[in-house]
Structure 1
């Protein structure tokens, strides 16, 4: 269910090595911290936040606390399992990336065998909760997102194709869809729109990282767009996807899911993000501009989650 990194984190793949490096002792707390770092907390909670936003939008004020609790716990465990498995599979890439080379699966602080067992326990626990207390559509979305993230993205497209980000963004949009259909039990216009929003949002977010982390990806041999097609093309793609994202957010009020307050807030924030994208076309300091685009991507997705939750209740 998670994205190729994280909808909401300090960097797309997270800096989990920093967390792991602070827990090199042998106490229970140290071990727990190392295992916790395996779940990529920034990725984990960012995805769960979008799932909650989808749930609250679909609820439209008719909140079911038990269903919400089951969705949140089950989704958290399934995403954590996928992140742990991704850590196992990405050891070769992580070992040459500056921000990931201290991860516990790279340093050997946790063996691949123990990490795999942890992954299985998390996955089966989360899936059992979703199967018992949500609906078949949530389970389908969860399993589908898991497979896309681990296999189609992590094992294949990330390593082989420039289109890995597109594939990863499908799994990144799965949590908000799961949250929405947990309430509705069906796919409707709202479900399609929230999925589309998060899918499109990830493209400029990750492409921004691909610019200022260009050299690291090049060393690791990961064929991201900035490495394969250059910075200029990447900046053009960022602007295109930013505009598409903003348009998708403004379709929600057209279908009557939210009102004026949502429209004004997302319209203003979206306009500013587009303006930043336009500035990037002529920017001379590409890294500095890309970091600004990335930082604002976090602001706008947090605002989006808040407005999805409150939008149905506001004018």
Structure 2
């Protein structure tokens, strides 16, 4: 005689109870934070080890007098007092000021013009993008040696080309009135391709519908640039201004070292080069650290001025 199971019990045995999630399992939000932290960790460690700690040590070193034999003597603000009384340092700061004031606007305008031109997608645009960006990929030391040979008074290709056209050549790196301008022109040539790409990325983010509506309303190219392109390009412009200013104040050491070594008559002795010579030429590591800290402070103040002048933080309102 066979027994028949109760219907209710059959349902209980056939249907499995859903598994409960483990109590120790992390929530989605915590997993996202963990993943973000793991991605940031390598760059964070690199910045800490190669930027943060050296900057802190440099600030501390500015309060010591360091001899060539590795002895440290506490001098407090003595290095800073020496800096304020050093006419050569202030001359280098003056040259740096001229260098920044000329380089940054020229580089900004040239890069923006190239970005607008490359956006048109004319025939051969891809080739010219690569050609303009290529100098940025070359080491500044190599660029300096290359241009030093090309600008040579006797055998340089620049003066030879001028002679072929019936014009007199110039001592591009030997005349104080020309040397700094020559270095600025070469830096523009090196950096314009990089900032052109940044401007091009910003221009491509502007919706094309805005330009179509402007053309329907009869707006010309200049009106479109003034009313659409320039306002919507403010965040990109601000980034370019900040980055080019920092690059101008702290970069260019390789170029100066290989081309002019601060000459002629200290006409191209930027502050960063003067700091380098004091540290590695004369062994004045404490004094060089104090000047470097002061230069960083000036750079931060200059960046704050750019923040204020450009009205950063109000881009959304302007749109």
- Name the TM-score class by shorter chain: under 0.3
Superposition TM-score, scaled by structure 1 size: 0.25
- More helix by proportion, 1 or 2? 1
Structure with greater Cα Rg: 2
Task: Pick 1 or 2: higher relative contact order, CA cutoff 8 A, min separation 6.
Answer: 2
Give the TM-score normalised by the residue count of structure 2.
0.25
